[in-house]
Amino acid sequence: MTEPELQKKEPQEKPFSLKNEIYEWLESGVFALTVVVLIFTFLFRIVMVDGRSMQPTLQDQDRVITVSLFYKPAPGDIVVVTQPNAMNHSLIKRVIAVEGQTVFIDPETGDVSVDGKVLTEPYIMEKINPSKIGDMKYPLTLKDGEVFVMGDNRNNSSDSRDSMIGIIDERYILGKAVLRIFPISDISVLR
Per-residue pLDDT of the chain (191 residues; tens, 9 = 90+): 555 555 555 566 666 677 888 888 888 888 888 777 776 666 788 899 999 999 999 999 999 999 988 899 999 999 999 988 877 788 999 999 999 999 999 999 999 999 999 999 999 999 999 888 889 999 999 999 999 999 999 999 999 999 999 999 999 999 999 999 999 888 888 88
- Check residue 134 and report its DSSP letter: -
- Domains along the chain? 46-189 (2.10.109.10)
- Name the catalytic one among 9, 14, 28, 53: 53
Active site residue 93: yes
DSSP strand pairing (91-98 vs 102-105): unpaired
Residue 103 CA to residue 64 CA, distance in Å, equals 28
Residue 56 CA to residue 153 CA, distance in Å, equals 7
Active site residue 188: no
- Name the catalytic one among 90, 93, 137, 160: 93
Residue 51 CA to residue 151 CA, distance in Å, equals 11
Predicted confidence at residue 9, as pLDDT, reads 58
Give the residue from 61, 70, 56, 83 showing the smallest Cα distance to 149.
Answer: 83
Q: Based on C-alpha coordinates, what's the Rg of the chain?
A: 26
Predicted confidence at residue 14, as pLDDT, reads 63
Predicted confidence at residue 12, as pLDDT, reads 63
The answer to whether 165 touches 151, Cβ cutoff 8 Å, is: no
Residue 85 CA to residue 83 CA, distance in Å, equals 6
